[in-house]
Amino acid sequence: MSVDVLLGLQWGDEGKGKIVDVMAPRYGMVARFQGGPNAGHTLEFDGIKHVLHQIPSGIFRKDIKNVIGNGVVLDPVIFRREVEALRERQVDVRSNLYISNKAQLILPTHGLLDACYEQSKGNQKIGSTLKGIGPTYQDKIARLGIRVGDVLEDDFTDRYRALVEKHRNILDYYQYSYDLEEREQAFLEAIEHLKTFNIVDTVYLVNNALRHGVSVLAEGAQGSMLDIDFGSYPFVTSSNTMIAGVCSGLGVPPSRIRQVYGIFKAYCTRVGSGPFPTELHDDTGERLREIGREFGATTGRPRRCGWLDLPALKYAIMINGVTQLFMMKADVLNDFEEIKVCTRYKLSDGQVAEEIPYNIDHHKLEPVYHTLPGWEQQLNGVKDFDQMPGALHTYLDYLEQELQIPIGIVSVGPDRTQTILNPELSLG
């Protein structure tokens, strides 16, 4: 069988958690392949909202195996909190969750280093979630990291202490003051908790499943514009959020990948610093934030809001080889008289660009907009494509024409049920 992939095409928070939950019954396995607790994936059903950070969003479907792949960085303290929050809601993750022994461990000092590096950046801060993501991937690449499988080894504590010592030296160099004691105690307790879970070689687990006819849905975190190689560097996260991350983060060959589902909001948001050409600093931006409840699922920070950016979306579609698009949060635009879409950028030298410039400086470029009529009606009762208002059809047709990829899902609310499937396309 094959691997289908769901990837965020913007700056994260496109609604990946909701859609993975909706799609999961079509698969036998859901797997996270990169990122860590910087992710906040929200799903809603039966009137309850869940936010997952490291546990895959297929966890509520009992018959499905959920995998935390080798490309993920795992914080055992946050993991423990997530497990406990789920248990309070009668969801037992122990039987259908598998954690890669090759995933990297986030230590308490990684979080401290994250904060220390951010502080040292002055007005060039990335706006990191400060979950220790960057420093943990840094140690992985430097071949210093500690992996989840190491917690089962006799010398784990020695290795932990040795790495902490290295981190302390860096923190001292920066004259960064910190208190490790409390964090360390919680960490060591969380390690004992982590040991009781299924820690396995998920590379074999996933590939054996594929060989035996199980189909896999790979759940992306963040979005392509935050990719370490292809995003707006240095204002990015520290992993490959794009399609290549699936192969390196799960150990599956590219030939196994079938559908690449690209998910985007009907407008744009970004949390943290970095270029955002269509950002709105006016009442319209404020309206999008209020109606869309655009506040971070991990940090609670207000998200920056703006109109849809087609050059950025086309770029993300190009690098990922997207086969089908899912458009989220259409309902947020219900009351807008008109909707704008950026088609090109006008540069400071007067030239017009359809491609994203190197070292993009959003202060020096001006989006060129195409304006479409709003549908100015509620989408609550809309259950299928035929019932959609004409202006929404016009919006979708326009995007399909521009992007040359069909739109398979339109989401009209946060709940599992508020999902409209395109009858002409097949999923899963």
- Active-site residue numbers? 13, 41
| Single-letter code of the amino acid located at 288 | L
Structure tokens at 410: 């339109």
Least distance in angstroms from the C-beta of 337 to ligand GDP: 19
Burial of 48 per CB tally in 10 Å (0-12, 13-18, 19+): exposed
Alpha-carbon distance 126 to 245, whole Å? 22
Backbone φ and ψ of 193, nearest 5°: -65, -45
Angle between helices 310-320 and 390-403 (to 10 degrees): 60
Least distance in angstroms from the C-beta of 40 to Mg ion: 4
Residues 296-310 as b or e (16 or more Cβ within 10 Å = b): bbbbeeebbbbbbbb
**Of residues 115-134, which lie at the interface with ligand IMO (CB under 6 A)?**
126-129, 131, 133-134
Alpha-carbon distance 271 to 395, whole Å? 26
Counting Cα atoms < 13 Å in the Cβ hemisphere of 285 gives 14
Q: Which is nearer to ligand GDP, 171 or 399 (CB)?
A: 399
User: Which residue number is nearest to ligand IMO in terms of Cβ?
Assistant: 272
Size of the site for Mg ion (CB under 5 A): 3
Q: What residue 312 binds from Mg ion, ligand GDP, ligand IMO, none (CB within 5 to 8 A, per partner kind)?
A: none
- Beta carbons within 10 angstroms of residue 32's beta carbon: 30
31 is a site residue for ligand IMO (CB under 6 A): no
Q: By the 8 A CB rule, do 336 and 303 touch? A: no
Contacts with ligand IMO, 336-375, as mask; x by CB under 6 A: ----------------------------------------
Q: What residue 413 binds from ligand IMO, ligand GDP, Mg ion, none (CB within 5 to 8 A, per partner kind)?
A: ligand GDP
Out of 222, 232, 240, 323, name the contact with ligand IMO by CB under 6 A.
222
DSSP type of residue 295 = B
217 is a site residue for ligand IMO (CB under 6 A): no
Q: Which is nearer to Mg ion, 247 or 297 (CB)?
A: 297
Out of 4, 6, 13, 333, name the contact with Mg ion by CB under 5 A.
13
Alpha-carbon distance 37 to 55, whole Å? 9
Q: What residue 226 binds from ligand IMO, Mg ion, ligand GDP, none (CB within 5 to 8 A, per partner kind)?
A: ligand IMO
Q: By the 8 A CB rule, do 23 and 428 touch? A: yes
297 is a site residue for Mg ion (CB under 5 A): yes
22 is a site residue for ligand IMO (CB under 6 A): no
271 is a site residue for Mg ion (CB under 5 A): no
Quote the Cα angle for 373-378-381, to 5°.
Answer: 130
Alpha-carbon distance 395 to 372, whole Å? 7
Least distance in angstroms from the C-beta of 18 to Mg ion: 10
Q: Which is nearer to ligand GDP, 191 or 396 (CB)?
A: 396
Task: Look at strands 29-32 and 65-68 and give their pairing.
Answer: parallel
389 is a site residue for ligand IMO (CB under 6 A): no
CA distances from 97 to 20, 28, 147, 153 (A): 16, 12, 17, 21
Size of the site for ligand IMO (CB under 6 A): 23
Positions touching ligand GDP (CB under 6 A) are 8, 12-18, 40-42, 44, 293, 297, 328-329, 331-332, 411-414
Counting Cα atoms < 13 Å in the Cβ hemisphere of 421 gives 11
111 is a site residue for ligand IMO (CB under 6 A): no
Of residues 256, 269, 131, the one with CA closest to residue 206: 256
40 is a site residue for Mg ion (CB under 5 A): yes
Q: Which is nearer to ligand IMO, 246 or 382 (CB)?
A: 246
Three-class SS state of 172 = helix
Q: Which is nearer to ligand GDP, 11 or 187 (CB)?
A: 11
Q: Which is nearer to ligand IMO, 276 or 307 (CB)?
A: 276
Least distance in angstroms from the C-beta of 409 to ligand IMO: 17
Three-class SS state of 216 = strand
Map tokens 């971070």 to a residue.
Answer: 296
Least distance in angstroms from the C-beta of 354 to Mg ion: 29
272 is a site residue for ligand IMO (CB under 6 A): yes
Tell me which stretch binds Mg ion (CB under 5 A): 55-63, 203-211, 292-300, 401-409.
292-300
Secondary-structure percent of the chain, ordered helix, strand, coil, rounded to 5: 35, 25, 40
40 is a site residue for ligand IMO (CB under 6 A): yes
Q: Report the interface residues with ligand IMO, using CB under 6 A.
A: 8, 11-13, 38-41, 126-129, 131, 133-134, 221-223, 226, 237, 271-272, 297
Q: Report the interface residues with Mg ion, using CB under 5 A.
A: 13, 40, 297
